[in-house]
Chains A and B, each alone.
Chain A
């Protein structure tokens, strides 16, 4: 019986996890992680390891729970009433949903970039150093250094270095998204969470962001959600395919795209299903 039928029938099944994953050191580990929005279950016992220092792509049809999984990692779902979780999410040995976890501290260890660029209504400089400011850093020198470093990291420095004091809302869409990336990496996070960072951008801006992610991935662990198969293939080291709130197949990107274990994965990555 195919995986899809098993899911539809409500039966449990083992996701096809390629053995190479087990060889990688991991930074984030989900085990049997389920999430409910009120009565509706959005994640069904997801178990996966996110390898340290690599780019992992989450793919899957719309509504399969990719964003939900990403938002569970930095606990943004806490802001929504009626969210319930089961199972464990562990970041570097720390259970993210333990009662004594300091959420704020936790979120500071991750950077998140959203589907739509969301610069704050303040200057470019203030936008970039916002995570440092809320962390209580107020020394001008430090802030300026960090701002330049992360703007360079986000390949935005040359474009905005003369207008740091101007409103960030005056930037173009692609620039805004790179600004959000700069903001996400300014505090040196352990994990970078990217939720379809290029979906609102034109091909050129997308290309620049992809280059940027590629560069960043040398230093950070990146978990990226994308609908663009080429992008997943180009960018990521590992790819996880999700369907209806379950992890279906997880392995090195090359294998997922060329020799998937499951026919569903093959159909999805070749665009015949989803």
Chain B
């Protein structure tokens, strides 16, 4: 029996049901927003390449419009238009397509393309002006290598021959030029020489033309590919070789100029001293480390460190000063190299000219086949280029000719697939609004992978130090807070930092060496001081460890603080030594003033984003390290493992899933970032991929393209952004796919690791 009174006393609010609905509702809203975002990106992105029908609208004033219907919408007509519409309606002439079910007037947006004709490639047509619409079979959507698509009716396929005539030879009779077909004289060369152009008709009529064009396209495409290969690979190789020779000579010239600077090196007695010191220290080091058991261990270890330090400094001196091997370059050698380079350059120039000639021949051959596709509105055919409206389009400019109104489902799918393939695997054309995004994908993926390669070791090492080695206290808490705050710094700030620090400072250093090199004496003095300070750090650390089983006293605490100071000082010293080294003159000085690493590039972009995503990795790794059970660590120590062995064999493997989580987050954030990349390495378009077949294969100094920036560029920076808008969606879809693929790879890796760690946790 249940108790009525009790049931009534528990109100709905007390049971928390309304709150449950509220929270559930909030979750549903959030989820549907996310799902909506994905659905829109996928639908819009996937629809871009679907071949749409072409519609021919015959207007009442006699104009005809052929285009892709993009959208139909209700609008509010002007007073005149309203009068016209009412008149038509009264006469019963208003087509059903011109109004919606409620009788409101409609207009339709046509993509009419054909940009050379000087009009907007999109055109709104109020539908009451339209007398009839049809979908003509022969309407052709021509995707071209440049100037965007051309929509029209194909008429003829022509073959143009340029015939040169010798002096005195009679000219063939001029035939009438009909629609660009016939014989035409052109002034060529001059001085009595002449040439004429004879145009032959290969096919006429829509169907025949399309068939002939289809037949001709594979050969044309093959020739195109050959031209591109020569331009890119062969000419690229020749250019690279020429550059190599130039840099070689330049490098030798620079070295010759340096060799004339006063040397002032140490004499052999001083070097003998250095060598003796090094040998003595080395022997001491070996002996102090090698003696087993007994004695004051700490003291012995410090002695070993001191000997090692002396040996290191002496060895550095021997390597840097090279007292025996530094032979100056002579003027004769430079002259010889110059001569050799001259000869090589000559040969390369000849090769270059031959290649260019070959390209020119191929291009002339390429221009022979022409296709006449007529715009229905103006009656003009697609020109070979805008400045020559009387020359019909070269068939080799055609990427794809689609007859959308006769395509069945299979045909449509074929066109769809081939457009996707072109998009994913092709190079961009027409300021990115057409063609593919292959270099963009490569750039994005490479940048993201490099970012992971840079951020993971750095983050893991930092987290290990913070969690395993650092004494937990106020300082580590402050560092943790600072790291968490770094995660919230706006990304553009990282971009500015990256540009200023990585590109200009570090990159400039790599290119041209230190700006103000110290004198050798001062440098060595600093080196010795730094060494002594580092040694003091080691000694202080040893002193800061209490005898086992006793508590650290104030002596130990002060030693620890001083040791930290000493390490800081040593780090500053090392930085100073690097910044002012007289032994490094830059790796790419021959190329100056053109920057190699001293400008924006892939490496700096990756490092900037690595810095930006570092907090994510550190935090995730730290948590994972803290989650490794104490019992596992104690077990390891109990087996006689050292701290490092425990970390490497127990802690790190256990923390690996967490590290991967951090990596995933970092990569996702990095792959989608745009703002800092615009400052440190992304370009609108690049001529060379950051990976290619020329050594060193991965060119970290090159700029690259990135999907995020590409989207921005397509949508808002392109000359024809209306036409490019669908591509924005497609590129967005691709970006999502790239991020998802990278993520899925990392997540599956993490899943496997976790499975291994958890196997049989029952």
Chain A contacts to B: CB under 8 angstroms:
74-76, 78-79, 82-86, 97, 99-105, 107-108, 110-112, 114, 116, 118, 120-122, 130-131, 133-135, 166-167, 169-171, 180, 183-184, 187
29 contacts between A and B (CB under 8 A): A74-B638, A75-B548, A84-B549, A84-B550, A99-B297, A99-B298, A100-B298, A103-B548, A105-B640, A107-B638, A107-B640, A110-B638, A114-B634, A116-B631, A118-B631, A118-B634, A121-B756, A130-B641, A131-B640, A134-B640, A134-B642, A134-B645, A134-B649, A167-B756, A169-B760, A170-B760, A180-B635, A183-B635, A184-B639
Indicate whether A134 sits within 8 Å of B548 (C-beta atoms), given known contacts A116-B631, A120-B632.
no
Interface residue? B2 (CB, 8 A): no
Quick one: which of B629-680 are within 8 Å of A by CB? 629, 631-642, 645, 649-650, 653-654
A82 and chain B: residue at smallest CB distance: B551
A76 near B632 with CB under 8 A, answer no
B631 near A167 with CB under 8 A, answer no
Nearest Cβ on chain B to A69's Cβ, whole angstroms? 14
Q: Whole-angstrom distance between the alpha carbons of A105 and B297 in the complex?
A: 14
B760 near A167 with CB under 8 A, answer yes
A101 near B548 with CB under 8 A, answer yes
Indicate whether A130 sits within 8 Å of B639 (C-beta atoms), given known contacts A84-B551, A99-B547, A121-B757.
yes
Indicate whether A99 sits within 8 Å of B759 (C-beta atoms), given known contacts A76-B638, A107-B639.
no
A118 near B632 with CB under 8 A, answer yes
A83 near B549 with CB under 8 A, answer yes
Q: Whole-angstrom distance between the alpha carbons of A134 and B759 in the complex?
A: 24
> Which of chain B's residues have a CB closer than 8 A to the CB of A131?
639-641
> Which of chain B's residues have a CB closer than 8 A to the CB of A183?
635, 639
Indicate whether A79 sits within 8 Å of B637 (C-beta atoms), given known contacts A121-B756, A169-B759.
yes
> Which of chain B's residues have a CB closer than 8 A to the CB of A105?
640
Give 1 or 0 for each of B545-556: 1 = CB within 8 Å of chain A CB.
001111100000
Q: Whole-angstrom distance between the alpha carbons of A104 and B641 in the complex?
A: 7
B644 and chain A: residue at smallest CB distance: A134
Q: Whole-angstrom distance between the alpha carbons of A136 and B756 in the complex?
A: 25
> Which of chain A's residues have a CB closer than 8 A to the CB of B645?
134
Q: Whole-angstrom distance between the alpha carbons of A190 and B671 in the complex?
A: 56
B645 and chain A: residue at smallest CB distance: A134
B640 near A187 with CB under 8 A, answer yes
Quick one: which of B153-174 are within 8 Å of A by CB? none
Question: Which 7 residue pairs of A and B lie closest in terms of their CB atoms, listed nearest first?
Answer: A170-B760, A108-B640, A85-B549, A167-B759, A112-B638, A118-B631, A131-B639
A130 and chain B: residue at smallest CB distance: B639
Most buried by A among B549, B633, B636, B650: B549
A107 and chain B: residue at smallest CB distance: B640
> Which of chain A's residues have a CB closer than 8 A to the CB of B642?
104, 134
A134 near B634 with CB under 8 A, answer no
Interface contacts beyond A99-B297, A100-B297, A170-B759: sample of 4 additional A-B pairs, CB < 8 Å, sorted by A: A107-B639, A108-B640, A120-B636, A130-B636
Nearest Cβ on chain A to B544's Cβ, whole angstroms? 14
Nearest Cβ on chain A to B477's Cβ, whole angstroms? 16
Q: Whole-angstrom distance between the alpha carbons of A169 and B757 in the complex?
A: 8
Interface residue? B262 (CB, 8 A): no
Q: Which of B295, B296, B635, B649 contacts A114 (CB 8 A)?
A: B635
Q: Whole-angstrom distance between the alpha carbons of A167 and B635 in the complex?
A: 17
B634 near A79 with CB under 8 A, answer yes
> Which of chain B's residues have a CB closer than 8 A to the CB of A110?
638
Q: Whole-angstrom distance between the alpha carbons of A180 and B635 in the complex?
A: 9
> Which of chain B's residues have a CB closer than 8 A to the CB of A108?
639-640
Q: Whole-angstrom distance between the alpha carbons of A79 and B637 in the complex?
A: 9
B549 near A97 with CB under 8 A, answer yes
> Which of chain B's residues have a CB closer than 8 A to the CB of A101?
548
Q: Whole-angstrom distance between the alpha carbons of A86 and B549 in the complex?
A: 8
Q: Which of B631, B637, B758 contacts A169 (CB 8 A)?
A: B758
Nearest Cβ on chain B to A98's Cβ, whole angstroms? 8
Q: Whole-angstrom distance between the alpha carbons of A230 and B642 in the complex?
A: 37
B756 and chain A: residue at smallest CB distance: A167
> Which of chain A's residues have a CB closer than 8 A to the CB of B12?
none
Interface residue? B489 (CB, 8 A): no
A113 and chain B: residue at smallest CB distance: B638
Q: Whole-angstrom distance between the alpha carbons of A120 and B757 in the complex?
A: 9
B641 near A134 with CB under 8 A, answer yes
A169 near B761 with CB under 8 A, answer yes
Nearest Cβ on chain A to B606's Cβ, whole angstroms? 32
Q: Whole-angstrom distance between the alpha carbons of A43 and B294 in the complex?
A: 29
Quick one: which of B611-645 are within 8 Å of A by CB? 629, 631-642, 645
Q: Whole-angstrom distance between the alpha carbons of A104 and B639 in the complex?
A: 9
A87 and chain B: residue at smallest CB distance: B549
Q: Whole-angstrom distance between the alpha carbons of A170 and B758 in the complex?
A: 8
Q: Whole-angstrom distance between the alpha carbons of A56 and B758 in the complex?
A: 36
Q: Whole-angstrom distance between the alpha carbons of A166 and B756 in the complex?
A: 9
Nearest Cβ on chain A to B299's Cβ, whole angstroms? 10
> Which of chain A's residues have a CB closer than 8 A to the CB of B294?
100
Q: Whole-angstrom distance between the alpha carbons of A103 and B645 in the complex?
A: 14
B294 and chain A: residue at smallest CB distance: A100
B634 near A76 with CB under 8 A, answer yes
Nearest Cβ on chain A to B468's Cβ, whole angstroms? 11
A186 and chain B: residue at smallest CB distance: B639
> Which of chain B's residues have a CB closer than 8 A to the CB of A187?
639-640
> Which of chain A's residues have a CB closer than 8 A to the CB of B759?
166-167, 169-170
Q: Whole-angstrom distance between the alpha carbons of A122 and B653 in the complex?
A: 9
> Which of chain B's residues have a CB closer than 8 A to the CB of A74?
638
Q: Whole-angstrom distance between the alpha carbons of A170 and B654 in the complex?
A: 16
Most buried by A among B550, B635, B649, B756: B635
Indicate whether A120 sits within 8 Å of B548 (C-beta atoms), given known contacts A130-B649, A134-B649.
no
> Which of chain B's residues have a CB closer than 8 A to the CB of A114?
631, 634-635, 638
Q: Whole-angstrom distance between the alpha carbons of A79 and B548 in the complex?
A: 11
B650 near A120 with CB under 8 A, answer yes
Q: Whole-angstrom distance between the alpha carbons of A99 and B550 in the complex?
A: 10
Q: Whole-angstrom distance between the alpha carbons of A83 and B548 in the complex?
A: 9
> Which of chain A's residues have a CB closer than 8 A to the CB of B631?
114, 116, 118
Indicate whether A78 sits within 8 Å of B550 (C-beta atoms), given known contacts A122-B653, A134-B642, A167-B756.
no
> Which of chain B's residues have a CB closer than 8 A to the CB of A111?
638-639
Nearest Cβ on chain B to A36's Cβ, whole angstroms? 9
Indicate whether A121 sits within 8 Å of B654 (C-beta atoms), given known contacts A83-B549, A130-B649.
yes
Give 1 or 0 for each of B41-61: 1 = CB within 8 Å of chain A CB.
000000000000000000000
Nearest Cβ on chain B to A193's Cβ, whole angstroms? 8
B548 near A171 with CB under 8 A, answer no
Q: Whole-angstrom distance between the alpha carbons of A176 and B635 in the complex?
A: 13
Indicate whether A171 sits within 8 Å of B760 (C-beta atoms), given known contacts A105-B640, A130-B649.
yes
Q: Whole-angstrom distance between the alpha carbons of A117 and B642 in the complex?
A: 21
> Which of chain B's residues have a CB closer than 8 A to the CB of A104?
640-642
Most buried by A among B642, B654, B759: B759
> Which of chain A's residues have a CB closer than 8 A to the CB of B653?
121-122
Q: Which of A79, A83, A103, A134 contacts B639 (CB 8 A)?
A: A134
Q: Whole-angstrom distance between the alpha carbons of A195 and B757 in the complex?
A: 25
B634 near A97 with CB under 8 A, answer no
> Which of chain A's residues have a CB closer than 8 A to the CB of B760?
167, 169-171
B628 and chain A: residue at smallest CB distance: A121
Nearest Cβ on chain B to A253's Cβ, whole angstroms? 26
Q: Whole-angstrom distance between the alpha carbons of A84 and B549 in the complex?
A: 5
A97 near B639 with CB under 8 A, answer no
B548 near A76 with CB under 8 A, answer no
> Which of chain A's residues have a CB closer than 8 A to the CB of B549?
78, 83-86, 97
> Which of chain B's residues have a CB closer than 8 A to the CB of A169?
757-761
Q: Whole-angstrom distance between the alpha carbons of A101 and B631 in the complex?
A: 24
A100 near B295 with CB under 8 A, answer yes
Q: Whole-angstrom distance between the alpha carbons of A100 and B547 in the complex?
A: 9
B640 near A135 with CB under 8 A, answer yes
Give 1 or 0 for each of B526-558: 1 = CB within 8 Å of chain A CB.
000000000000000000000111110000000
Q: Whole-angstrom distance between the alpha carbons of A135 and B640 in the complex?
A: 8
B548 and chain A: residue at smallest CB distance: A97
> Which of chain A's residues have a CB closer than 8 A to the CB of B547?
97, 99
Nearest Cβ on chain B to A268's Cβ, whole angstroms? 28
